A and B are shown apart, each in its own frame.
Chain A
Amino acid sequence: MTVLATNLRRDSRTMEQAAKGRSLWDDARRRLFRNRAAVASMILLGLFLLAAIVGPYLTPDHYDTINKGDVWDPPLTNGHLLGTDSLGRDLLARLLVGLRVSLAIGVVATAVSLVIGVTWGATAGFLGGAVDELMMRFVDVLYTLPFIFFVILLMVTFGRHFLLIFLAIGCVEWLTMSRIVRGQTLSLKQKEFVEAARASGLSTRAIIGRHIVPNLLGPVVVYATLTIPGVILLESFLSFLGMGVQEPLTSLGTLISNGAEEMDLAPWLLIFPSLVMVLTLMAFNFIGDGLRDAIDPKDR
């Protein structure tokens, strides 16, 4: 009898230990940190972020300081680590500010698209029926439009206001997000645990907050990570066409655009900004892919 009781107690202890286990998110984190490309990208991006936030305060020259004597200095001359541009402005200082602007635009515009996309998609998916039909048809229609033209028109119409770039791009990028969220909500809504929650008397609001939204988080985080480089690219594209961030403020796209024009005389003006741009985009893409593999292993 006592032997049995001890055995039982031991069994229940092992059960407890086993049940502690790892949560879904622990599991995802472990998988993510095993992905070398993603980890390297996170380190690189962390450094870039730090440089973009702190860097501009540390450079001896301000990003718009004009040095008439130091026009087109090659890198490592006259105390300019990355050289200077046609007005003698220090490229390092400008690059740091450009990186800051591009990253800020990427994050803020993605946040705008996130809010619109998640709200739109979750509403359509959860309500279903005619409302869903109507809302998603609207998304379909917008999808077929040549959006770049509307962004260009927006830029032309409202002047080149810095804030507006965020808004305009955010308003363009929410479509895919809303589709993903709607699809997820539709399938989540029919899961047994939602039914169980409803049966146990949970209110609709509580179901959305407790069961739907946390389960949406995975795909949303993945897609948001992949949206940021898309936004940075779009902003740079606009800046390249002369409709984005205006001088003397700068962004990676503006720097590349200027660099491309003076490439014969001062190749460093193109090379360094391009390098930073490509590395940033790659880092975001690798992290996004790594997150997708980590959160949704069946996609691998």
Chain B
Amino acid sequence: MLRFLLRRLLVAIPTLFLVITAAFFMMRAAPGNPFEMSRKLPPEILAHVEAKFGMNRPLGVQYVSYLAGVAHGDFGPSLKYQDKSVLEIVREGFPTSLKIGLSALVLASLVGVTLGVLAALRQNHSLDYSVMGVAVLGVCIPSFVAAPLLRQVFASNLGWVPTGGLNGPISLVLPVVVLALPQVAIISRLTRAGMIEVLHSNYIRTARAKGLSETTVVFRHALRAALVPLVAYLGPACAGLITGSLVVEKIFNLPGLGKSFVLGALQRDYTLVMGVLILYASLIIALNLAGDMLLAVLDPRVRLS
């Protein structure tokens, strides 16, 4: 276990390094620069601004000094937001993104597992077909279609929730629902498949033969084993939620990190884009690792090598 962890950490560091390097040079290769997006600056002013951020040095030197900064936890100043460091922006935006991401994950797990179990228990009956139908819809209705439609109905027409912005928990309801929908679809499919496999196994037959009640068989014996594959989905789920948050934060006008990233990429705010990217990449790598390790703990058949 420890060896596995060490090995994976050893892979994770070069991976992150790769991410940083690729992103750094791709960002710099992009046409335009952060200071001249809307109007042209006189050359001497541009030179002055670039010197202020150390951008008049050769690219290689900038790269090394950026890496050194990151190693010390210094992600530099934002190039577009005056007098704000990237860390400050991340600290402001991340709680919102984390809040909707975590809520969506919890919601999707609860709903997805319930639907998946119900479908598996009634395999090939109408309930199963309707749940799987919903799952197909969940995958086929993209968040950027669901979000405006739901907002129109529940915010503009019915007025139950605000159309956007961040005003208390009620304003997060729609974003969380939209974010959770595709995950509900995937989780219910995974749960159903796991449940069906487990319900056909010998030890479930034994449990039934012992005369245990159906509830005990399903919840104590089957569900536990059926949920194990879900753990491996933790990393991809996180990636999916982050991707979804880019759209949801834009549509519902939430001050989260996803919005900062998209804006930053469009405005060539090099340091901000890099900072958000490093944070999210670390998060996904960590969750993938955690998922694999949890899987090994829960399922003795999985051998870590």
What residues on A are CB-neighbors of B136 within 8 Å? 282, 285-286
B2 near A: Cβ within 8 Å? no
Assuming A146-B280, A260-B147, what are 14 further A-B pairs, CB within 8 angstroms? A140-B11, A141-B15, A146-B239, A146-B242, A157-B26, A157-B27, A229-B140, A263-B148, A263-B152, A264-B156, A278-B141, A281-B140, A282-B137, A285-B140
B167 to chain A minimum Cβ distance, whole angstroms, is: 20
Q: Is B179 in the interface zone, CB < 8 Å from A? A: no
What are 8 A-B pairs at a CB distance below 8 A? Answer: A141-B11, A146-B277, A149-B261, A149-B281, A152-B261, A153-B273, A264-B152, A278-B140
Q: How many of B's residues come within 8 Å of A, CB to CB?
A: 46
| A119→B18 CA distance, assembly (Å) | 24
Nearest opposing residue in chain B for A152, CB measure: B265
Kindly state whether residue B262 has any CB partner on chain A within 8 Å. Answer: yes
Interface size on A, residues (CB 8 A): 40
Note all chain B residues with C-beta closer than 8 A to A149: 23, 261, 277, 280-281
Contacts known (A149-B277, A278-B140, A281-B140); A267 close to B30, Cβ less than 8 A: no
Q: Which residues of B contact A242 (CB under 8 A)?
A: 262, 266
User: What residues of chain B lie closer than 8 Å to A140, measured between beta carbons?
Assistant: 11
**Does A152 contact B149, Cβ atoms closer than 8 Å?**
no
Q: Does B121 contact A (CB under 8 A)?
A: no
Given A146-B242, A156-B265, also A241-B247 (CB < 8 A): yes
Bound-state Cα–Cα, A219 to B14, Å:
33
| A207 adjacent to chain B (CB < 8 Å) | no
A148 within 8 A of B: yes
B23-A145 in contact (CB<8A): no
**Contacting pair A236 B142 (CB below 8 A):** yes
* A135 in the interface (beta carbon within 8 A): no
Q: Does B221 contact A (CB under 8 A)?
A: no
In the complex, the answer to whether B148 meets A144 with C-beta atoms within 8 Å is no
The answer to whether B277 touches A237, judged by C-beta atoms less than 8 angstroms apart, is no
Count of A-B residue pairs with CB < 8 Å = 113
Contacts A144-B15, A145-B281, A229-B140; is A156 near B30 (CB within 8 Å)?
Answer: yes
Cβ–Cβ contact A144 & B265, under 8 A: no
Q: Is the interface of B mostly helix, strand, loop or mixed?
A: helix
Closest to B273 in A: A153
* A residues 144-164 touching B (CB-CB < 8 Å): 144-150, 152-154, 156-157, 159
Whether the pair A278, B145 counts as a contact (CB closer than 8 A) is: yes
Alpha-carbon gap, A243 to B18, bound state (A) = 24
Kindly state whether residue A35 has any CB partner on chain B within 8 Å: no
| B140–A237 CB distance below 8 A | no
Contact yes or no, A157 B139, CB < 8 A: no
Contacts of A86 in B (CB 8 A): none
Query: What are the 3 closest A-B residue pairs judged by CB atoms, nearest first?
Result: A260-B148, A281-B140, A274-B145
Q: A286 vs B133: C-alpha distance in the bound complex, in angstroms?
A: 10
Are the CB atoms of B149 and A146 closer together than 8 Å? no
Q: Is A177 an interface residue (CB 8 A)?
A: no
Chain B, range 130-170, C-beta contacts under 8 Å to A: 136-137, 139-142, 144-145, 147-149, 152, 156
